[in-house]
Amino acid sequence: MSQTRPQVTTVVNDRASVDAAIESRFSCRAFLRDKPVSRETIEEILSVARRAPSGTNHQPWNVYVLMGEARDSLSRKVCEAHDKVFADPSLAESYRENFDYYPEKWVSPYIDRRRENGWGLYGLLGIQKGEKAKMHAQHQRNYVFFDAPVGLMFTVDKVLGRGSLMDTGMFIQNIMVAARARGLHTCPQAAWDEFATVVKPHIGAPDTQVLLCGMSLGYADETAHVNTFHTPREGVETFTRWLG
């Protein structure tokens, strides 16, 4: 599809809607399973998202869209593996992440924000420290895409550099914003990474690609208590240095 709009002269008249699409994005953890998203809508979202920038326009992203039985059978496979690891933690070595999404050693202030996020969510759900079975069950909600009818998996080729991860991140953000513009919600999920050895064969991703993350896509369950959980953000003054 060729670009038909003159980018340099396009005027965005409704700033409030653009801002609202960004600011209303959150990690939705309960979707309406019985309210499908059409393939046409998904293709529209991906078409918009592909305008994300990338170094030298090399467009490093690959997307795998899972719906119906493809989605359900992957969930069954990964939930089974997740249960096995819970029953026998020594099996975790069999499901090592192929992409170091998180650091090996956490330091402040990042560890503090992570703890605030984790205990904030568990506290909302009434899960107390040490209730491992309940934590396991909540974590496994990732692997059923929080009941969303659509799952997405994102990969890049292993030969590419770290800049490609930044490019793909911008592409993924575009997907989430474009989804909001269509009344949809999303949840980007690093949780799938540790089960890449299960995910990649299922989606047909070659060994030359690395799994970066998954994503749930659908209509939010507005009655679900878990969807009242919204993470805080640092003030602009915390991460900004003005020069000149």
Collapsed DSSP state (helix, strand, coil) of residue 5: coil
Query: How does residue 1 score in pLDDT terms, banded at 50, 70 and 90?
Result: very low
Cα–Cα dist 95/82, whole Å: 9
Range 211-216 average pLDDT: 98
pLDDT for 5 beyond 70: no
| Both tokens assigned to 82 | 């997740």
Rounded percentage of the chain residues whose pLDDT exceeds 90: 91
pLDDT for 179 beyond 90: yes
CA R_g for the chain: 19
pLDDT for 70 beyond 80: yes
Collapsed DSSP state (helix, strand, coil) of residue 24: coil
User: Is 191 in contact with 66 (CB distance < 8 Å)?
Assistant: no
Cα–Cα dist 13/11, whole Å: 6
pLDDT for 15 beyond 60: yes
pLDDT at 98: 78
pLDDT at 109: 96
In the chain, the domains with their CATH numbers are: 19-100+142-230 (3.40.109.10)
pLDDT for 27 beyond 50: yes
The tens digit of pLDDT for each residue in 83-133 reads 999 999 999 988 987 788 999 999 999 999 999 999 999 999 999 999 999
pLDDT for 7 beyond 90: no
Sequence-ordered strand ranges (E) for the chain: 62-66, 150-157, 185-189, 209-218
Q: Where are the alpha helices (DSSP H) in the chain?
A: 15-23, 39-49, 68-87, 110-124, 132-140, 163-181, 196-203, 236-239
